[in-house]
A and B are shown apart, each in its own frame.
Chain A
Amino acid sequence: MAMRTLERLLSRRRKSSSGEVAKERLRLVLAHDRASISPALLDTLKDEIITVISRHIAIDTESVQVTFSQGTRESRLVADIPLLSQRRRRKR
């Protein structure tokens, strides 16, 4: 009995039971299934967003990030586009 309790405590600490592994794998698979957005598509989107935005305002093209985030049943596309500050522009 004591052994079993000990075993259980230990096995709980060792985080990667197959149930946990299944959950993590599922989380990823579902994110991709739900979005049907591939990494390549994300790259394309990023390039085109940079082109369009920088036509109108100065942005830090190197730091632009376009990512995809997964909520419970909705997903969203997040674009993080840092503007170039006036000072940095003058420096150029």
Chain B
Amino acid sequence: MAARVITITSGKGGVGKTTLAANLGVALARQGQRVVVVDADVGLRNLDVMLGLENRIVYDLVDVIEKRCRLRQALVRDRRLSELFLLPAAQTRDKSAVRPDDMVSVCENLREQHDFILIDSPAGIEQGFRYAIAPADEIIIVTNPEIAAVRDADRVIGLIEAEEQGPAQLIVNRVKPDMIRRGEMLGIAAVVELLAIDLIGVVPEDEAILIATNQGRPIALSSDSSMTGRAFHNIARRLRGEEVPFLTLREQGVLEWLFRFMRSGGD
């Protein structure tokens, strides 16, 4: 059983890649999968704080590549979920410390013992992006329903196609249902139509995300009561091949939300 390597990338910064990587890692682990999340943002690491694991780092990705430690020693086990591991980025180095081949061989060594390897790519389309997508079997593109993020996502999709990487699937993050309802935000259907790749998830903007980050407890850890937490779990299930409808219709207003965003821009 070899792991699937999935790189999460976006082009633009600040769209929620790291939050997604943390929460998808947690959601997959809670669903019984053996998961490693890899922070590929060398020099600007943050996946550790999202997961609340910042105090437990001993070695990092660059230590592994430069053979100062064995791969096993650099993996930080999440005590809340026995099958979730973090491979942290180096904080005092820069992206020139990692080559695409390094990432490929690190992932090869992780594949055997795990089911999913999620790579949190740095923003941009330079070296960090290049080495982050090098080992990927699949790619998740994260965007927000706004012009700059969609434009950058399109650039990245073009680069991935040129490299014959992928397949790439889309997550639209930070969706504000209210604004879409009023016609003041790009609809999900419009974004999907413009980017022309398959949609694998829609995540609403939610204050609870910031609160969870403050506490170092990803929202996907708590029982699936919040809509956002459920959105992450649904994406994890879709990744595992389950057919999950895009929203459960129980919550107040959600039915209307679904209708509106499918309709807006879908013409």
Report how far A79 CA is from B159 CA in the complex, Å: 27
B147 to A: closest C-beta gap in Å:
5
- Minimum CB–CB distance from B156 to chain A (whole Å) comes to 11
B151→A29 contact, CB < 8 A? yes
Distance, CA A23 to CA B184, complexed state (A):
11
Give residues of chain B (150-176) contacting chain A, Cβ–Cβ below 8 Å: 150-151, 154-155, 158, 161
CB contacts (< 8 Å) of B179 on chain A: these are 19
Q: Are A20 and B151 in contact (CB under 8 A)?
A: no
Interface residues of A in 3-26 (CB under 8 A from B): 11-12, 17-20, 22-23, 25-26
Measured CB to CB, the closest approach of chain B to A2, in angstroms, equals: 17
Residue among A12, A25, A29 with the most chain B CB within 10 A? Answer: A29
Chain A: interface secondary structure? Answer: helix
**Is B213 close to A, CB under 8 A?**
no
Q: Does B190 contact A (CB under 8 A)?
A: yes
Q: Let me know if B194 is at the binding interface, CB within 8 A.
A: yes
**A20 to B185 alpha-carbon distance, docked (Å):** 8
Q: Nearest chain-A residue to B184 (Cβ)?
A: A18
B180 to chain A, nearest CB (A): 7
Q: Residues on B close to A: CB < 8 A?
A: 146-147, 150-151, 154-155, 158, 161, 179-180, 182-187, 190, 193-194, 196, 264-265
Known interface pairs A17-B183, A19-B183, A22-B146; 10 further A-B residue pairs with C-beta atoms within 8 A, sorted by A's residue number = A11-B182, A11-B183, A19-B179, A22-B185, A23-B186, A23-B190, A27-B194, A33-B158, A34-B154, A73-B196
